[in-house]
Chain A
Amino acid sequence: MHMSDSLLSPAVGGAFWLAAGGMISYSARKIAEEKDASKTALMGVAGAFIFAAQMINFAIPGTGSSGHLGGGLILAVLLGPYRAFITLASVLVIQCLFFADGGLLALGCNIFNLAFFPAFIAYPYIYRTITGKADSRTRLAAGCMTAAMAGLLMGAFSVVIQTTISGISDLPFTTFMLFMLPIHFAIGIVEGIATFFVLSYVRQVQPGILHIHEEKWHPSRHILATFAVAAMLIGGVVSLYASSCPDGLEWSITKATGKEELNQKDGGIQKFLGTIQEKLAFLPDYSFKRYSKEESKYSEEIGTSASGLIGALMVFTLAGFAGLILRGRLRRTQDA
């Protein structure tokens, strides 16, 4: 369920980066207030445990397929909301950098979808409400199932919203939601059962582990709700604004030059570059066919793309050669 850079608009990605950064900073402040450095190592090992647990596949009965644990809820039960959030966010950063999951800009969305919901919503408001203080296996099962499913469904719903407001995918909101939610409902059931089995085993063998995290959760509901609403609002409002002005870059060009596009400028460097481009352009309008008036806007857009393809190829080749030449020079400098 990792969100990708290519499905996001810069406005939505940026808004969720700000929201995720704010939540990391808020959680870090709360952890620092506890003044308990003894859990630093536990958080680190717990993050590594999540990776390790995800390496172990199990057979899903009746489906012939296999799955693995997500682990967000287990971390929240073990560490409490703030530490679990920081731990999950660190896991997502490492997944982004080394496992190529998501992307740099999508990291904010992924932290929001996969860490915020389990740590700040599913665990404190669902799991703890259902399990309560009573030591009941039935309550544990109900708590695990409901919280795991809710966390996953909220994350999946958030992915749908982020993709839709970004406007990159053509999937309509309802279709995308009807596609994502049932799948994640099923994944949530498996996650809930696996989480229950793991916690149930730990509860039998070493129950103390489930009480490492003392009851220090004083939900600053206003702050958390503000984060959630702000992220959604910023994403929605900014992207709506961005959709009327195609993107930030073009907006700045319009602001700076008073014109919609820089290449409409009549003189100066743009004209000079345009002349060079015209002279260098081989295969102009290569096998392109114009369609009806309705589609003419499209055709123009695509036409620009197609004529740029060769330019792109040239930039690509030039960059490769430039890199090779520079590498050679660097080597010679090092040898000298």
Chain B
Amino acid sequence: MLEQKAQEMVLSQKHLSVKERYTAFDARILIAVWFIFVIFTVSVPKFAISTALAFAAFPLFVVMVCNLPARKILGRMLLFSPFILLIAAANPFIDTRTVCEISGFPVSAGLLSASVIIVKAMVSLAAVLTLVEIIPFNMICHSLSRIGMPEVFTTQLMLVYRYLFLLSEETEVLGKARELRSFNGRGRGMGTTSKMIGSLLIRSVSRSDRIYRAMLARGYNGTFPMSDEKNVGVADLVIAIFACASFLLVRILI
């Protein structure tokens, strides 16, 4: 599954240049709005299934306005952690009190709270996925840096993102080589695989040496130059206020 996800990431990066991006707004404001949205979603009470569902309107709105790949986002949302499912699945067995009937079928409080957990998880994931679809990752890092995140951390984020693709491709090659040499499951054990991972680690370390020398050759002095800084404008503030007011209204009224 990780391999598939990494391939999707490689594809999305390849399409980055041609993809329509909505970067007219200050990324810091967008990140803040998304974060506030997640807090509102998380604050939905335990049994308020309608409020949780109403909050799904925001990612849907963003998908529609920005023409984002809905099928891809939906596919990712369905792949959320089995851990959440497991925890949610416990609620109907613990809280068995019947609270209502829908067309003759009794609905337990546990079933309702479990549904709220799953809906909240999916809405929150949809929000994150739409955020990374509309803001390029380097801009997210740059904004984090401007918000006050230490530069060591934002530089680290950019480097991991950059070399993730490279090492993923290398790992795929290693994996294929292992498959070709493994028969009846032999050669897929921890011993052989650990040596493979060990050699990948050694190669990664020597690669980092070369990268650092290349960085120095290009004038790296401990900081990465960033693109022109955009200031928060009236439009950004209007969008932020409007969005937060909408979240508040949904939270109160539904």
Among the 9-residue stretches A129-137, A214-222, A225-233, A291-299, the one with 4 or more Cβ atoms under 8 Å from chain B is A291-299
Complex alpha-carbon distance, A54 and B200, angstroms: 12
The answer for the CA separation of A289 and B104 in the assembled complex, in Å, is 10
With A194-B190, A299-B99, A309-B49 in contact, do A103 and B124 touch (Cβ < 8 Å)? yes
Stretch at the interface among A29-37, A120-128, A146-154: A29-37
Instruction: Find the residue from B34, B151, B191 having the highest chain A CB count within 10 A.
Output: B191
Q: Which of B121, B167, B199 contacts A48 (CB 8 A)?
A: B167
Q: Does A315 contact B (CB under 8 A)?
A: yes
C-alpha gap A37/B211 in the complex (Å): 12
Once A48-B160, A104-B34, A171-B94 are accepted as A-B contacts, the answer to whether A7 and B87 lie under 8 Å apart by CB is yes
Q: Return the contact of A24 from the options B49, B56, B150, B163 (Cβ within 8 A).
A: B150
Task: Decide: A45 and B90 in contact? CB cutoff 8 A.
Answer: no
* A-side interface size class: 35 or more
- Assess whether A275 is interfacial by the CB under 8 Å rule: no
Tell me the B residues contacting A by CB distance below 8 Å.
Answer: 2-3, 5-6, 9, 34-35, 38-43, 45-54, 56-58, 60-67, 76-77, 79-81, 83-84, 87-88, 90-91, 94-95, 97-103, 107, 109-110, 112-113, 116-121, 124-125, 127-129, 131-132, 137, 140, 149-153, 155-164, 166-168, 170-172, 174-175, 185, 188-202, 204-205, 207-209, 211-212, 215, 220-222, 248, 250-254
Contact A306 B250 (CB under 8 A): no
Q: Note all chain B residues with C-beta closer than 8 A to A68.
A: 2
> A326 near B: Cβ within 8 Å?
yes
Decide if B79 touches A100 in the complex (CB within 8 Å): yes
| Distance, CA A52 to CA B166, complexed state (A) | 9
Does B117 lie within 8 Å of A58, measured CB to CB?
no
What residues on A are CB-neighbors of B5 within 8 Å?
Answer: 98-99
CB of A287 within 8 A of chain B?
Answer: yes
Interface string of A276-319 (1 = CB under 8 A from B): 01000000000111010001001101111111111111011011
Which residues of chain A are within 8 angstroms of B9 by Cβ–Cβ distance?
A: 98
Q: A8-B42, A104-B127, A288-B101 are in contact. Are A170 and B160 (CB under 8 A)?
A: no
The answer to whether B99 and A291 touch across the interface, beta carbons within 8 angstroms, is yes
Could you tell me if A55 and B57 are in contact, using CB atoms closer than 8 angstroms? Answer: no
- A182 at interface by CB-CB < 8 Å: no
Instruction: Tell me whether A306 and B167 are in contact (CB under 8 A).
Output: no
Contacting residues, chain B, for A97 (C-beta < 8 A) = 128, 131-132, 137, 140
Q: Which residues of B contact A55 (CB under 8 A)?
A: 2-3, 6, 168, 171-172, 175
Partner of B156, one of A29, A47, A168, A247: A47
Q: With contacts A5-B38, A7-B84, A194-B190 known, is A315 near B159, CB below 8 A? A: no
Give Cα A146 to B124, complex, Å: 36
Residue of A nearest to B84 (CB): A4
Residues A103 and B153 in contact, CB atoms below 8 Å apart: no
In the complex, what's the smallest C-beta–C-beta distance from A54 to chain B, in angstroms? 6
* Complex partner residue of B48 from A248, A263, A305, CB under 8 angstroms: A305
**Is A13 in the interface zone, CB < 8 Å from B?**
yes
Taking a contact as CB atoms under 8 Å apart, the answer to whether A287 and B189 are in contact is no
Residue of A nearest to B51 (CB): A308
Task: A52 to B252: give the CA distance in the assembly, Å.
Answer: 45
> Cα distance A201–B248 when bound, in Å?
56
Distance, CA A21 to CA B76, complexed state (A): 27
Q: CB distance A193 to B53 under 8 Å?
A: no
Query: Contacts of B205 on A, CB cut-off 8 Å?
Result: 42, 45-46, 78, 206, 209, 212
A104-120 near B? 1/0 per residue, CB < 8 Å: 11000000000000000
Q: Chain A residues near B112: list those with CB within 8 A.
A: 302, 305
A244 in the interface, Cβ–Cβ < 8 Å?
Answer: no
Contact between chains at A47 and B189 (CB < 8 Å): no
Residues of chain B within 8 A (CB-CB) of A100 are 76-77, 79-80, 125, 128-129
